[in-house]
Chains A and B, each alone.
Chain A
Amino acid sequence: MTFRARLLLGFAAVVLVPLAVLAYGLWRDVDRRLTAQYQRRVDAAVAAVERDLHRRGAAVAARLDALAGALTDDNRFRLAAVQGAPSERTYLLDVAGRDMRLAGLSALLVLDEGGRILSSGHFREEYDRLAPTIPAALATRDAGVTLLRTRTAEGWILVLAGLDSLRVGGRRFDLVGGEAIDREFLAGLAGGLDVAVSLRFPGGALSSDPTLESTPAGGGAAPTDAVVGSLTLPYVDAGAEAPLVSDTARIFVTQSTTELRALRRGVTVWFLASVGATAGVALLLAGWLASRLGRPLADLAGKTAHIDLDTLDVRFETERKDEIGVLARLLDAMTQRLRRSAVRLREAERRATLGDLARQVNHDIKNGLTPIRNVLRHLAGVARDRPDTLPAVFAERRGTLDSSVEYLENLAANYARLSMRPERRPCDVNRTARAVLQDLAGAGGATVTGDLAEGLPPVRGDDVALRRILENLMRNALESLADGRGSVRLETRQILGPGGAPAVRITVTDTGRGMTGDVIDRIFDDFYTTKETGTGLGLSVVRRLVMDLGGTLKVESEPGVGTRFVMEIPA
C-alpha cells in the first residue's frame, strides 16, 4: 500500500468515523425527542378534542332543552300533535325544520311516545315513520356525547346527538337532535392544532384530512408516518333494526410526522454532505501532505539511485528543518564520505597499480633485457672462443637484439601513455570524432560510419585524451571484426546528465565478435587482453581518461552480434 493510500485511510479513520458517530447520535436523539414531543402533543390534542366534544354535546343538550320548552308552549304544536287538527298538519311537519334551523342544529326529530316521527327537521319527508329505537338507544347511553347516524333523503349524516323530552296534553314527546359531524366539524375539533381528527364508526370513516380516511384512523392500513391518539364514544346507528348498546365509535387524533421525517431527511442529507465535503477535503489534504512528504523522499530516492563509485558528485542540498531535511543532510554527508573514500580508494588502487606496474615493468624490462644479455653473453663467448665467426654469429643474433630493443621501445611507449595527464579545456567532440573517422576511413574491408549530432556543447577535457579515447575504442572495434569485415559506427548526441546538466553521449558500435560476461567484467583491467599482440592497456587507459573527464563508460556486448561502448561526458 502506498504512503498516500495509508494517509487517506488514516484520515478516514480519524475524521469520518467520529463524524458518522456524531451524526447517528444526533439523528437518533432528535428522532426520539421529537417523537416524544409529538406524542405529548397528540395526547394534549386528544384531551382538547374530548373537552370540545363534551362542550358541544352540552350545547346540543341546552338547545334541545330550549326547544322542548318552546314546543310545550306552542299551541299550534299542541293542536297538531295532541288534537290531530288537520289544519295544523303542515305546521307539524314543518316545525322540526324551523326549530332545527332556529336552534342551529343539523338534525332534529320530534317523536311521540310510540316512537313515531311526527316531524323531522333534516328529513321532512320521513314523517310517520316508526323509529322507537332511536330515543331508546340514546336513553341507554351515559350522560355525555353520543354519535348518531341518521338518515336524510340524500344519504346519511352523523350527528353529535342529544335526547330531550316534553309533556304536552299528558303525552310524552321525545326530541332527538344534534350537530352534524362532517369534515369541517372534525377540523374544528382540531382547532389551531396541527393534527388531523378522524372518526371511525361501524361501517365508515370520516376525517378532517380525507387522505386519512383509508388509514386505521379512518379504517385502512396503519400509518407509518404518524403519531396517533384516540378516544371512544358511544354510537347509535338509526338505520339498524336494533341499535346495539355496545356500539362505539372512535376518534383518532393523528399527528403527521412529516416534519420529523423532513428533519430526518435534512440531518441525513447534511450528514452525507458533511461526509462528502470532509472526504473531499481529506483527499485534498492527504494528497497535499503526501505530496509534501513523498516528493522529497522520491527526490532523495532518485538521487540515491544514481550513486555509485564513479558517480559520487550527487548533492543532497536542502534547507528543510524537518525529518526530510535531516535525512537529506545525512545522505549528503554520506555521499561526501563516499567521495572521500573513493578518492582514497582510487589512490590506493593507483598505488597498488603503480606497484603492479613497477613489478610488471621490472618483469617486462627483465624479459626484454634477458635476450639481449643472452645474445651479448653469446657474442662475448664467440669473440673469445671463435673470433672469426663473430660477424656471422652477430648477424645471426642481430634479429634477436633488434626484436628485444623494439619490444623495449614499445614497452616504453606504452608506459609513457599511462603517465599522461590530460588538461581540461573546452573540446569539440565532433571535430575530434571527424578526425578519427578520417584516419580510419580506409581501414581494410570494414565500413566505418559516423552519425554526429549538430550543436553539441563542448566538453571540458583534453583534445589528445579525447582522441586517444576515440582512437582506442574505434581500433578495438575494428580489431574485433572477424576477418576485418563488418561495420563500425561512431555516434554523438547531446543529453542531460545527472541533475539535468548538459552532457554528450558518444557511442561506438561494432558488429564484431562480441564478448562474454566474464570478459566484459575484466576488459577494463590493466594488461588484460584477448588479442595475441595486445598490451591489455587500451581499454584501461580509455576508462581512466573518461573518468578524468568526469564521464561514465558502459559497455554492452553479445557474443557473435557485436559490442557497443557508451560514454557520457559532461559539458
Chain B
Amino acid sequence: MRRLSLVTPLVVAALVGACGPPVGGPAPEPAPDPCVLAADSLDAPAGPNLTLALGAPVDPAHAPIPVNHAEALVFRQLYETLVLVDCEGAVRPGLARSWSGADDGRVWEFVLRDARFWDGRPVTAGDVAAAWATTPHAARLGVAPESVTALDDRRLRVATDRPAAEPYLFAEPALAIASPDARGSTLPAGSGRFQLTLTETPDGLVRLALVAIRGNARFAVRTIHPAAARDALDGDVDLLITDDPDAVNYAKGRADLAAIALPWDRTYVLASAQGAPITTGGDAAAFRASLARDAVRADARGAPPPFWWERLPRGCLAAEPTVPPPTAGRILHERGDAAARGLAARLVALALLERGLRVEALAAPEFPAALRSGGDHYVLSVPRRVLDACAAARDLVARAPWLAGTLESGPAQSLTPLIDVRRHVLARALPAGATVGWGGTIRFADR
C-alpha cells in the first residue's frame, strides 16, 4: 500500500485548526466549542419528555450500523465509538478519553473512560476487541482481530495496515462498540447515554423513543417529510436534523430556536466516464463557489481540495477497469435530491459539457442501474471525509465499476468535485445539563 505523503498530516492539521486537540492529548472542555449546543443556551424550559424529528425513517434492526443519516444520529446515542469528529474536523474523545499514536499512525493506544453498558457492566478493552472481532466492517476498515490487543481493562492497542495522522478511523460508526450480550434488550447492548425503546400503539404502529440511561430525559423519535421541517418546528418538535436552508434561516430568525451546523459531510461531484469534461477557464475554485452560491438552495460551499479519491494508495482497488458505453446525452441525478438537480441543471445551462444535454431524474432502482452502466453523466454525492479512503473507493466502485481505472490512476479525472453540503441541528429545548454536537451526539455534563 502506498504510504501517505508528508503533505497529508499537514492538510489534516490545517483542517482541524485551532479547535482540534493535540495528537495524543486529552479532550478539552466542550463549553466554548462552536460545534456544541448547550441546553442552558436555550430559552425553553427543559422538560423530561422531548421530541426528536428526523427526515428519514429509523429501523432498529439495522443497529448498530446505520444506513441513513437519521439512523446515524439515533444509533450515535446508543453506541459509542472510541473517538468523535466535531463540525470542524477535529478528533474528540468518545469512549476513549485519551489516545496516542506510533509508527506513523499505524499503531494506536487508547485509554477508555469509565463507561458502562446499559445493564451496568463496565466496558473493558476486551469488550472492544470482542466487538470488532464479530463485525466484518472492522476487517474491511483494516482492523484485523489479531491486531487488537487489550493491554488491560482500560488500555487497548490497535495496529492497522495504513498510516494516519489522527485516529479518524475509530470514529467510524461501523466501529461503534456493541455487545451481543444484550441482557433483556432486543438490540445489542451499547454504552451510549440513551437506550432505544419500541412501543406498539393500538393501531399497530411502532413508536421509537430514546430514553436516557440516567435521569428521566426521553426523546420521542418522529419521522417527518424533509420539506416539513418548519412545520415541525412550529409544532412540538424540540430537536431536529435538517438540510433545508429555509428551515435553518427560519430557526435563526426565531429567538426560541437555535441552530448549529453539523460537519460538511457530503461532496457533490460530477461523475463522467468522459474524463474531466468541465472547462472552467482555470478558476475551478471560483466556479465551485459560484455553484454553491447560486446553483443550489442549500448550505453549501465550493468543495475545497483535497479530495480523498485523489489520494488513494495504489493497489487498494482490485476491480478491473471497465469501458463504459458512449454517453447518452443526459446528466442523471437521483430523484428527490434537489442539490444534485440544481447542479445538473446549471451544468446544462452553461453547456460546459456538451450541447444538447438534458437533465433527467431517476428513482431507485433506475438510478443505481444507470450509474453502474456509466453511459451518462451523473451528479451524485459522496462522503466529504472518509475514515478509510480505500474502503470508500471500493464502495464507490461498487456503485460505478467504470470508475475503478481512473480512481487508481489518479488524479481521478472521472470525478469532478463541485460543492460540499452539510446539515444543521435545530433545537428548541434539551434536557437539563445536556449538549448536542460532535456529529449530533447528545451528551450530559456529568459524563
Q: Is A127 an interface residue (CB 8 A)?
A: yes
Cβ-closest chain B residue relative to A129: B349
Residues in B neighbouring A153, C-beta threshold 8 A: 341, 344-345, 348-349, 358-359
Provide the A101-138 mask, 1 if CB < 8 A to any CB of B, else 0: 00000000000000000000001111101000000000
Cβ-closest chain B residue relative to A86: B293
Interface residues on B, range: 10 to 19
Cβ-closest chain A residue relative to B351: A129
Q: Are B345 and A90 in contact (CB under 8 A)?
A: no
Bound CA–CA A126/B344 (angstroms): 11
Shortest distance between the CB of A80 and any CB in chain B (Å): 12
Q: Is A155 an interface residue (CB 8 A)?
A: yes
Residues in A neighbouring B401, C-beta threshold 8 A: none
Q: Are B358 and A125 in contact (CB under 8 A)?
A: no
Shortest distance between the CB of A86 and any CB in chain B (Å): 9
Q: Is B360 an interface residue (CB 8 A)?
A: yes
Q: Are B295 and A125 in contact (CB under 8 A)?
A: yes
For chain B, what secondary structure do more than half of its interface residues adopt (helix, strand, loop), or is it mixed? Answer: helix
Cβ-closest chain A residue relative to B348: A153
Q: Is B104 an interface residue (CB 8 A)?
A: no
Q: Is A93 an interface residue (CB 8 A)?
A: yes
Residues in A neighbouring B345, C-beta threshold 8 A: 123-126, 153
Q: Are A124 and B358 in contact (CB under 8 A)?
A: no
Q: Is B152 an interface residue (CB 8 A)?
A: no
Q: Are B348 and A125 in contact (CB under 8 A)?
A: yes
Q: Is B342 an interface residue (CB 8 A)?
A: yes
Q: Is A89 an interface residue (CB 8 A)?
A: yes
Residues in B neighbouring A396, C-beta threshold 8 A: none
Bound CA–CA A155/B346 (angstroms): 13
Q: Are A154 and B360 in contact (CB under 8 A)?
A: yes
Cβ-closest chain B residue relative to A120: B349
Residues in B neighbouring A125, C-beta threshold 8 A: 295, 342, 345-346, 348-349
Q: Are B297 and A90 in contact (CB under 8 A)?
A: yes
Residues in B neighbouring A126, C-beta threshold 8 A: 345, 349
Q: Max chain B CB contacts within 10 Å: which of A90, A94, A153?
A: A153
Residues in A neighbouring B295, C-beta threshold 8 A: 125
Q: Is B294 an interface residue (CB 8 A)?
A: yes
Cβ-closest chain B residue relative to A155: B358
Q: Are B294 and A127 in contact (CB under 8 A)?
A: yes
Bound CA–CA A153/B345 (angstroms): 5
Provide the B289-330 mask, 1 if CB < 8 A to any CB of A, else 0: 000011101000000000000000000000000000000000
Q: Are B342 and A154 in contact (CB under 8 A)?
A: no
Residues in B neighbouring A124, C-beta threshold 8 A: 342, 345
Q: Are B293 and A123 in contact (CB under 8 A)?
A: no
Q: Are A89 and B294 in contact (CB under 8 A)?
A: yes
Bound CA–CA A434/B294 (angstroms): 140
Bound CA–CA A94/B249 (angstroms): 16
Residues in A neighbouring B358, C-beta threshold 8 A: 153-155
Residues in A neighbouring B359, C-beta threshold 8 A: 153-154
Bound CA–CA A153/B358 (angstroms): 6
Residues in B neighbouring A127, C-beta threshold 8 A: 294, 349
Q: Which of A154-184 contact B (CB under 8 A)?
A: 154-155
Residues in A neighbouring B346, C-beta threshold 8 A: 125
Residues in A neighbouring B350, C-beta threshold 8 A: 129
Bound CA–CA A90/B358 (angstroms): 24
Q: Which of B342-379 contact A (CB under 8 A)?
A: 342, 344-346, 348-350, 358-360
Provide the A361-403 mask, 1 if CB < 8 A to any CB of B, else 0: 0000000000000000000000000000000000000000000
Residues in A neighbouring B297, C-beta threshold 8 A: 90, 94
Shortest distance between the CB of B367 and any CB in chain A (Å): 15
Residues in A neighbouring B349, C-beta threshold 8 A: 123, 125-127, 129, 153
Cβ-closest chain A residue relative to B330: A154
Q: Max chain B CB contacts within 10 Å: which of A90, A124, A125, A155?
A: A125
Shortest distance between the CB of B441 and any CB in chain A (Å): 32
Bound CA–CA A402/B52 (angstroms): 171
Q: Are A89 and B342 in contact (CB under 8 A)?
A: no
Q: Are A93 and B360 in contact (CB under 8 A)?
A: no
Bound CA–CA A94/B293 (angstroms): 13
Q: Are A90 and B360 in contact (CB under 8 A)?
A: no
Cβ-closest chain A residue relative to B290: A128
Residues in A neighbouring B294, C-beta threshold 8 A: 89-90, 93, 127
Residues in B neighbouring A93, C-beta threshold 8 A: 294
Shortest distance between the CB of A124 and any CB in chain B (Å): 7
Bound CA–CA A337/B65 (angstroms): 131
Bound CA–CA A127/B350 (angstroms): 9
Cβ-closest chain A residue relative to B346: A125
Cβ-closest chain B residue relative to A126: B349
Residues in B neighbouring A129, C-beta threshold 8 A: 349-350
Given A125-B342, A154-B359, A154-B360: A89 in contact with B348 (beta carbons within 8 A): no
Shortest distance between the CB of B346 and any CB in chain A (Å): 4
Bound CA–CA A62/B358 (angstroms): 32
Residues in A neighbouring B293, C-beta threshold 8 A: 89-90
Residues in A neighbouring B348, C-beta threshold 8 A: 125, 153
Residues in B neighbouring A94, C-beta threshold 8 A: 297
Cβ-closest chain B residue relative to A117: B349
Provide the A205-233 mask, 1 if CB < 8 A to any CB of B, else 0: 00000000000000000000000000000
Provide the B75-100 mask, 1 if CB < 8 A to any CB of A, else 0: 00000000000000000000000000
Shortest distance between the CB of A257 and any CB in chain B (Å): 38
Shortest distance between the CB of B4 and any CB in chain A (Å): 38
Residues in B neighbouring A89, C-beta threshold 8 A: 293-294
Bound CA–CA A155/B294 (angstroms): 21
Shortest distance between the CB of A62 and any CB in chain B (Å): 29
Residues in B neighbouring A90, C-beta threshold 8 A: 293-294, 297
Bound CA–CA A153/B348 (angstroms): 6
Cβ-closest chain A residue relative to B296: A125
Shortest distance between the CB of B60 and any CB in chain A (Å): 39
Shortest distance between the CB of B393 and any CB in chain A (Å): 30
Cβ-closest chain A residue relative to B360: A154
Bound CA–CA A85/B405 (angstroms): 45
Bound CA–CA A448/B335 (angstroms): 121
Bound CA–CA A89/B297 (angstroms): 12
Shortest distance between the CB of B31 and any CB in chain A (Å): 32
Residues in B neighbouring A154, C-beta threshold 8 A: 358-360
Question: What are 15 sample pairs from A and B whose C-beta atoms fall under 8 A apart?
Answer: A90-B297, A93-B294, A94-B297, A123-B345, A124-B342, A124-B345, A125-B346, A125-B348, A125-B349, A126-B345, A126-B349, A129-B349, A153-B344, A153-B348, A153-B359
Given contacts A125-B342, A127-B349, 11 further A-B contacts (CB under 8 A): A89-B293, A90-B293, A90-B294, A90-B297, A93-B294, A123-B349, A124-B345, A125-B345, A126-B349, A153-B359, A154-B360
Which residues of chain A have a CB within 8 Å of any CB of chain B?
89-90, 93-94, 123-127, 129, 153-155
10 nearest CB pairs, A to B: A153-B345, A125-B345, A126-B349, A125-B346, A153-B359, A125-B349, A155-B358, A153-B348, A154-B359, A154-B358
